[in-house]
Amino acid sequence: MSKTSFRSGSPAPRHLPWYVRSAARTWTCAPPPAEVRDFHAGLPGYSPTALTELPVLAAEFGVGRVFVKDESARLGLPAFKALGASWAIHRVLAQRADRGGGPVRLVTATDGNHGRAVARMARLFGQRAQVFVPRGVHPAAVTAIEDEGADVVLVPGAYDEAVRRAADAAAGGQGSVLVQDTAWPGYERIPGWIVEGYSTLFAETDGQLRAVGVEAPGLVVVPAGVGSLAQAGVAHYRSSRTESPPAALMSVEPDTAACVLASLGRGEPVSVPTGATTMAGLNCGTVSSLAWPYLRDGLDAAVAVTDADSAGPARDLAAAGVSSGPCGAASLAGARAALTGDGAAVRRRALGVGPASTVVLLSTEGTAANPHADANPHGDEESR
């Protein structure tokens, strides 16, 4: 390792789970609605989250600059999810008001962060929330959701089962609306609003980069569960924009739940079995149907990392003053895997990353968002 690298960093795995699509930067799409950021700016406690420069990572990766977008304090919550939940719930309630509807129960499934965000925004807007939680979510995360006033239902199955249970509960409950951050055929409007909500994160990043003399990033690294945040990144960087060359976008997943990587490799959406992972918020086995066309056509690369790969980066970011849980640190783990180690020269060329490039890592959660211990709430051993 370079002497300028973080001490706890590790080289790329010998057989890196990796996908690349060279034509992604030529694909374009419509931009997200411009009014989303104005809506967020009007919420209590809104301010742009920090964009922290880490020169030691730039030296390690052999690039010009590296920045971390720190989502550990977003609208009073320790993860980025409040952006999507708030905008979607705002749209749901506005639509119901136009139709003369009364109070609503907002139903969702979660690995932790999204459910807490829905519960918080339901309370903010004077509504009720019901949150279905799969196995593997730490009791402290469940308690945080309950503390927001939500009715929590523990599901003894994986995330996909919790989503099915939530959808059934919303369909069978009068005055209930499913607010889920994944889509499937027939359920895409509300997930689409959630993705629109995430656009504020990328708009903030643009302004913060320009303020320090960077016109546009060369590579943006995004953790992916069902792919909704990655979809928002694609929509932002592949819409009508003027950067030349455009940013490369890379998703990162746990190797135990790499549904985006598997789907890209097959050229069609596939579901994968999931296992235990400290990256609980990314422990998803099925790509969002709404996200899939964006990921298929606009994502440059995808990589999968292990829990061990993510643990070192979490410590590295903490040492640099960035609070990052395992999911947030996955971005650094993925960048380290792709840009260093065996075969890195080929991967760097595919991503267009060189000595002058600017790399942006999205740290999607702080340490408070995803506590983890030796055992999860359902008795299964959880790796650290």
Q: Could you say which of 69, 70, 81, 309 is catalytic?
A: 81
- The rounded distance, in Å, linking the Cα atoms of 196 and 33 is 7
Q: Is 242 exposed, middle or buried (0-12, 13-18, 19+ CB in 10 A)?
A: exposed
- The rounded distance, in Å, linking the Cα atoms of 250 and 259 is 14
Q: Could you say which of 69, 70, 111, 300 is catalytic?
A: 111
- The rounded distance, in Å, linking the Cα atoms of 250 and 223 is 8
The Cβ of residue 224 has, within 10 Å, a number of other Cβ atoms equal to 34
3-state secondary structure of 130: strand
* Encoded tokens for 208: 């913060």
Selection from 164, 151, 154 nearest residue 134 by Cα: 154
* Residue 66 Cα distances to 19, 59, 192, 347, angstroms: 23, 9, 30, 18
Selection from 22, 31, 24 nearest residue 235 by Cα: 31
C-alpha torsion sign, points 102, 99, 151, 147: negative
Active site residue 81: yes
Concatenated DSSP letters for 52-116?
A: EE-HHHHHHHTSSEEEEEE-SSBTTBSBTTHHHHHHHHHHHHHHHHHTT----EEEEE-SSHHHH
Contacts of residue 54, Cβ cutoff 8 Å, sequence gap at least 6: 66, 67, 68, 320, 322
Concatenated DSSP letters for 371-383?
A: ---SB-TTS-B--
* Encoded tokens for 110: 């979660």
- Residues involved in catalysis: 81, 111
